[in-house]
Chain A
């Protein structure tokens, strides 16, 4: 295989193989694992993380990073609850406000990164502080949401055979992933994202709108994170300022495990979905097992992340050797 297609296809292929192996292994071990119901639950439980990770995929494809997504989830979830409880705002509007706000905040981070060449990790670190601060300022307590329309949304699901059902967050995840795939593959914006990640100075010399693309990318990441917060509110029927703490790390892990190179340029939204799948299967398997404690999830994710980083490094050096030969 030649260099670029090695970098493009190998990581995703490995992720897919790992996901299938893990699922089959879990299925053999736990009799009820391989059911549609477990799959739909997995989608519902990881919907907000998945949506966040899709947005983050675009950022990492440009070679950047967004650490603010976790607190953005917290801010958006508490904002939804507060707007509905205190402001008597209609749920639709109460959900739209944080989403728009998230996009604007994300785009402002992108502006600082693109225009002033500030390091992405520091700018989004500031974003992390800012969002968490505002979220805690809105309410230190978790706020229950009780609104007829919202309850319908929370309770709604699309019934499937075998007692399985797609909840609203699960459907949202599917829609977002589909939209993300289209955006990455079919639009000039999406191709510019890949070009910037491949070689930013070249992209500029080729006349691509590099600054605009970066601003939009961080805007999309902010938007997805805020949407993730809204889904979290729907999922739990409440808003909580400290929700999403450390979520940025899970999201980064999902993107990297999904085969997107941290140096940018190679990767896909589909891969991120597979990455979320792996995290979800680990989580579900640990729950099924029953005796393993929750922190094993963190350790396993850490080990998986390390293994995939090492795999990426190996593929990169093999590709470089193939290039030189």
Chain B
């Protein structure tokens, strides 16, 4: 199984560090019938990256990658905000505000993006990095086009509640992530989809020989990944009650890739772990929150992420393991 114990251990260590040095970190208060505190904050803020990492896990397990999810977030947020606010001089201008349609339309737009990526990768056989780079560039342009370059603001309590409300003491986004996680787990592990994804990433030639339809598998995972981008876009848009086509989800695809790799899913494809990716997303957020509460400048999180990416890559690389193994005590085979 993919090894996410290291990520979990790091998460525990970060929390332990806070237990020692930031006593208020573990305070959880109940106000207005919901929980407040740093821990809840970590959970809540980890949601967008957590959502992205679920879809990204499947894409990476097939041996691919999706750089476009940040732009997909911008598109889905803009579609949702557009249908609610009906801003002038945009394609949405003039109609009635339809909050009920906002979410399905946003998710549909996102899945359209995913289908586009999937076709480029699976049918036209473009390298995943480049195929998804395309939408990463143009997608943001499309989002700006839809918003006519404005930041689309709106005031729609029912939509904002998705991001700002709480149910059974916990913020709604946390529930959204939990439900998505359960659905993804069921979709991959209660069916054979997960096995086919792993087989495709583990050995594409062998997958072809046992009759797995790798094209269909790939199109499915890129579509699911974009769907996650759509959900994350809705959460962010609901949170600030505005869609910012320029900055919504910027660099978040990179955070998601990071969460997945920290969570033990090998970047070369094969075995994946959805739990691991969630742990990875929580770890990244816990680090960020810790840095903020310690008063260290937030820019350092970027440097820290860079260090984590390189470390994780090196530890996964056979060439690096070989080169350090001579300095390590020999493992006795069981």
Contacts and interface: CB of A to CB of B under 8 A. Distances in A.
Interface of A: 65, 112, 115-119, 121-123, 125-130, 132-134, 136-137, 140, 245-246, 249-250, 252-253, 256, 262-263, 293-299, 301-303, 305-306, 309-310, 313
A117 B317 CA distance: 7
Contacts of B303: 129-130, 133-134, 137
A112 B314 contact: yes
Interface string B258-299: 000100000100000000000000000000000000000101
Contact of B302 (A130, A295, A306, A313): A130
9 contacts: A118-B320, A123-B310, A140-B299, A246-B137, A253-B137, A298-B137, A299-B138, A306-B138, A309-B126
A-side interface mostly: helix
A53 to B, nearest CB: 14
Contacts of A293: 144-145, 148-149
A125 B135 contact: no
Contacts of B141: 295-299, 301-302
Interface of B: 65, 124-127, 129-130, 133-142, 144-145, 148-149, 245, 250, 254, 257, 261, 267, 297, 299-307, 309-310, 313-314, 317-320, 323
A128 B314 contact: no
Contact of B136 (A132, A249, A295): A249
Contacts of A262: 127, 130
Contacts of B148: 293
A121 B129 contact: yes
Contacts of B124: 310, 313
A280 B303 CA distance: 33
A117 B319 contact: yes
Nearest to A120: B129
B330 to A, nearest CB: 21
A82 B140 CA distance: 31
A133 B313 contact: no
A44 B124 CA distance: 37
B302 A132 contact: yes
B137 A122 contact: no
